[in-house]
Amino acid sequence: MSEAQGHYMSDIDRSVITFGLGSAGSGKTYCATAMAGQMLHYGEIDKIIITRPAVQSGVGLGFLPGSLEDKYRPYIEPVKSVLEDRHGKGWFDCQIKKGNIEVVPLEFMQGRTFDSAFVLADEMQNSTPNEMFMLLSRVGRNCKVVVNGDHKMQKMIRGVSGLEDAATRLKGINGVSLYTFTSKDCVRSGIARDIIKRYED
């Protein structure tokens, strides 16, 4: 939908780890999810792994009713809607049932290795530096990791954001790219773009 999204998707295509930073409504999650779905659909990877920190408006998952799966279900909705729109509900349900699309709380990633996978790590402004290190050190063979977030406007945790820390620390490493969106890149709506700009000012 925009030149910025084109640059971002090019970064994802050529990199192992891509950081998408900045403004809400810029399509960070949509673009990464669309690329992950296409790669899974064409057999370029075996699995999509979706993760994010268990923080929502400053309240952890423990405050929500139900099982861990029930608690985490709202976190997959933005990804689910993109994949269903592009590939159909039946395809999405089949991939979930086969375990080819997996939703895992960030806190449960310890000890895993990401081989032949596309890892979509969303809302990572709410991760700690230790959590981010733990996630990024899982990268294996034939893996892409996209790390999205807005550490300036949407951070809900105290202390240093793992997103900001990693984006600074890993700059210049071969295979790592960083794309920053601004309020002018918001494609959600004109009024959303104007609101975001006012909050940024």
pLDDT tens profile 6-45: 999 999 999 999 999 987 788 899 999 999 999 999 999 9
Q: What number does CATH give the domain 3-200?
A: 3.40.50.300
pLDDT of 58 reads 45
109-134 pLDDT tens trace:
888 999 999 999 999 999 999 999 99
The residue ranges of every structural domain in the chain are 3-200
- The helix (H) or strand (E) run that includes residue 177 is strand 176-181
133-147 pLDDT per residue, tens: 999 999 999 999 999
Question: Global pTM?
Answer: 0.85
Per-residue model confidence (pLDDT) at position 72: 63
Q: How would you write 90-140 as a 3-class SS string?
A: HHHHHHHHHCCEEECCHHHCCCCCECCEEEEECCHHHCCHHHHHHHHCCEC
Residue indicated by tokens 């984006």: 167
Q: For tokens 């993109």, what's the residue?
A: 82
